[in-house]
Structure 1
């Protein structure tokens, strides 16, 4: 089953904690686009989108949308003080030159080594991988937000990705509807769990090798 609205916001809220003052952060479509709603108003962060905005703010209130101002998925956004606009080529040049500190992406599969597959499902027509390949290769920190399992209950954190790869060994942090992992050389370090899931629940629904931290935090 897909993620409910509350769970999507729960994941976005947790992902916001990975962001530090002064960062330039790229947000993918879907759950990542909710993250600006969960940052303190006093925190100065410049959100970057491949369509040519640097300095996106929270979602606008109903009725205050600007049809010319949207994120990479086409949803309305606001801007913060100091925001700027550019063409898509310039936005990608910022990525390729390493000017973006962190990206938050969705995923279809992630391997225990941090390989990322997030752009195609066999048999389904998709528009392409967008900027995911450049982001995964060139951005300093890659955070992935995803369902822990597929619609049929199969693990999406796997030993080896079965879907075509976007990039190898690029993922640093994984946040699912069940847990938070840090990618390490010996597997995925389980750092936090989303209540009401238990360690056994997570191990049974994860194919990748998991290392359990000494002090696993519970996210209520």
Structure 2
């Protein structure tokens, strides 16, 4: 299977998920995770009020009333449940989401992310990311290592407004996979067609290299 950069990131993020988990997928690359998991093994939660979301099959007719938080048409699993936003966010804040996979504009050395506002541009609001960062048991960031203009996303310190004080647990990019261990970033895996030199060149924050890295 030939995968593009975004799909490679999503596939690697999917490998971090354990069957039986309740997961929430942010907008962008995280939504592609559904391509690489068996929907029968997970409960996908979306903050606009659905537990039991699935990706639409190619020949499946979509219902315009069933969308995810990014307003994309989605399907529903047998036994799916619907609820209002207050209930949905109570589930998030109450610690009932096992894993949240989010996008980000920046991730810094302390593990904090900025993903909702760029100074000088229109601000749409922080959305559900702040709640997911506070309430999800594990948070994985799935992003390209650099922006289209070459801007580095893994920075020493976020200079965009941060989303939450909580540190994220892992980062998946098209160049590598990082985990946060004892308050430090550790490079655990180098992606195919990447190298340690390329990762170092395009990463501002300090990180250690796992001794068992491939």
1:187 Cα deviation (Å)?
Answer: 2.8
CA distance in 2, matches of 1:156, 1:213: 21
Match of 2:10 among 9, 12, 18: 12
Partner of 1:210: 207
Matched, 1:184 2:188: no
CA distance in 2, matches of 1:131, 1:169: 14
Residue 9 of structure 1 aligns to a residue whose secondary structure is helix
1:192 Cα deviation (Å)?
Answer: 1.1
CA distance in 1, matches of 2:78, 2:61: 17
Partner of 2:52: 55
* Cα RMSD for the two superposed structures: 1.5
CA distance in 2, matches of 1:193, 1:52: 37
Partner of 1:26: 24
CA distance in 2, matches of 1:82, 1:189: 40
Partner of 1:69: 66
After the TM superposition, which of the residue ranges 155-164 and 183-192 deviates more from structure 2?
183-192
8 Å contact kept, 2:67–2:74:
yes
CA distance in 2, matches of 1:18, 1:59: 23
Partner of 2:143: 146
Deviations 1:134-153 (A, max 9, x none): 11011100000112113332
Residue 8 of structure 2 aligns to a residue whose secondary structure is helix
Matched, 1:105 2:102: yes
Counting only pairs closer than 5 Å after superposition, residues 30-41 of structure 1 correspond to structure 2 as: 30-40=28-38
1:154 Cα deviation (Å)?
Answer: 2.9
Deviations 1:150-187 (A, max 9, x none): 33323211111111111124200100111110023353
CA distance in 2, matches of 1:6, 1:162: 29
Residue 215 of structure 1 aligns to a residue whose secondary structure is coil
Structure 2: runs of 5+ lacking an equivalent: none
CA distance in 1, matches of 2:69, 2:137: 20
CA distance in 1, matches of 2:64, 2:151: 39
CA distance in 2, matches of 1:160, 1:185: 18
Partner of 2:160: 163
48 and 186 in structure 1: CA distance in 2 versus 1, 3 angstrom threshold: closer
Structure 1: runs of 5+ lacking an equivalent: none
Residue correspondences, number: 212
Counting only pairs closer than 5 Å after superposition, residues 99-138 of structure 1 correspond to structure 2 as: 99-138=96-135
1:211 Cα deviation (Å)?
Answer: 0.5
Alignment TM-score, normalising by the size of structure 2: 0.93
CA distance in 2, matches of 1:186, 1:21: 27
